[in-house]
Amino acid sequence: MNMQFSAQQISALVNGQIEGNPLASVSGLAKIEDANPGDLAFLANLKYEEFLYTTRASIIIIGDSLQLKKPVNATLVRVKDAYSSFALLMQHYQKMQEKSLVGIQEPVFIHPSASVGKDVFIGAFAYIGENVVVGDGVKLYPHVFIGNQVSIGERSTLHSGVKIYHDCLIGKDVTIHAGSVLGSDGFGFAPQQNGTYNKVPQLGNVVIEDHVEIGANTCIDRATMGSTIIRKGTKLDNLLQIAHNVEVGENSVIAAQTGISGSTKIGKNVMMGGQVGVNGHIAIADGTRIGGQSGVTKSVLSQNTSLDGTPAFDFKDSLRSKSVYKRLPALEKKIKELEQLLSELIKEREAISS
């Protein structure tokens, strides 16, 4: 990265306290164990504390409660949360980079009825359909497709190859990564008596609220009727499948390769690990945490519970079950030994009584 920040500027951005030279400057970012002079690093995980005393970084962001065990050569910026502060600084730098990305490249297609706001970037080979509304500061990278009647809120970013089908609504400050598809048809087919299937028209749309991030190659299907909705602040990983009429609540996070079946309602602040499978037409309560590769087959009604396994059940019970499962061969051997011992005792008792 080409940047130039002083410790004083960094401290102001992250509301930190400086220990060392306030004029120390950095022009790059690096891991604390690999950093060189001129690099900014951070220490959030105490497993890496040993590198704090050997690193060559010029500036290091650390927690305000960390007690130093040895002298440190670098200038320190102490903050309440080192990881969050480092992320904030990177966001600031990214915004500085993107601010300069403005204009319309050629060739593109923009329908005459489309409305395009100020300070936008539209990359080459983008397609913008009829009656589309593109808000101020939006960035559409090359090969983005925007179908008819789509609305994209201010400062949203759609990376290369994103496809937004007709009638979908994208909020403000949304990021959609490369290759994702929003608004493709839900998987609706009516079985017929002769064994064939008739397609059920999918007439709804997809609504993405503000401050949502969607990873690469994720698919979110349009509703059969009404809307598939991703509520504000939610973060979706790569390679997700979210089916028709699903609703995902505010500030939920869902990891890669998870699949959510149709008409399921997911609450606020839900966390799902990778490769979770969720049945259709169920509800998942606010604050639920679901371990990776779990299968959720029925509604979760209690808030703030942790689940694991297939079918998913209480996380602690699941851990106990897995512990027992690993010991089954030894338990089987023990049972056979006990059966043998019991058989011998019975024979001895029968011999005494006779």
- Residues 6 or more apart in contact with residue 111 via CB below 8 angstroms: 128, 129, 130, 131, 132, 148
CA dihedral 89, 95, 100, 102 (to 10 degrees): 170
300 token code pair: 């979760």
The reported pLDDT for the residue numbered 194 is 96
The reported pLDDT for the residue numbered 234 is 98
The reported pLDDT for the residue numbered 2 is 58
CB atoms within 10 A of CB 60: 28
Which long-range contacts (C-beta less than 8 Å, at least 24 apart) are formed by 145-154?
147/183, 148/111, 153/210, 154/117
Rounded to whole angstroms, the Cα distance separating 263 from 187 reads 11
The reported pLDDT for the residue numbered 329 is 87
The reported pLDDT for the residue numbered 3 is 65
The reported pLDDT for the residue numbered 303 is 97
The kind and range of the H/E element at 328 are helix 328-353
Per-residue pLDDT tens listing for the chain (354 residues): 556 889 999 999 999 999 999 999 999 889 999 999 999 999 999 999 999 999 999 999 999 999 999 999 999 999 999 999 998 888 887 777 776 789 999 999 999 999 999 999 999 999 999 999 999 999 999 999 999 999 999 999 999 999 999 999 999 999 999 999 999 999 999 999 999 999 999 999 999 999 999 999 999 999 999 999 999 999 999 999 999 999 999 999 999 999 999 999 999 999 999 999 999 999 999 999 999 999 999 999 999 999 998 888 788 887 788 788 788 888 888 999 899 999 888 888 888 876
Rounded to whole angstroms, the Cα distance separating 285 from 232 reads 17
What would the pLDDT profile of 243-252 be if each residue is shown by its tens digit?
Answer: 999 999 999 9
The reported pLDDT for the residue numbered 155 is 96
What distance separates the 2 farthest-apart alpha carbons in the chain?
106
Rounded to whole angstroms, the Cα distance separating 106 from 290 reads 46
Question: Do residues 263 and 282 lie in contact, with contact meaning Cβ atoms separated by under 8 Å?
Answer: no
DSSP assignment letter at 213: E
Mark residue 64 as left, alpha or beta (left: phi above 0; alpha: psi -120 to 50; beta: remaining): alpha
What would the pLDDT profile of 319-344 be if each residue is shown by its tens digit?
Answer: 788 788 788 888 888 999 899 999 88
3-state SS assignment for residue 88: helix
Rg of the chain's alpha carbons, rounded to an integer? 28
Report in angstroms the alpha-carbon separations of 73 from 7, 49, 145, 247.
14, 14, 51, 51
3-state SS assignment for residue 292: coil
The reported pLDDT for the residue numbered 96 is 74
In degrees, rounded to 5, the angle at the alpha carbon of residue 263 between the alpha carbons of residues 262 and 269 is 105
Rounded to whole angstroms, the Cα distance separating 55 from 191 reads 65
Distance of CA 68 to the CA centre of its chain: 34
Rounded to whole angstroms, the Cα distance separating 347 from 335 reads 18
Can you give the pTM of this predicted structure? 0.81
340 token code pair: 């043998």
- As annotated, the active-site residues are 244
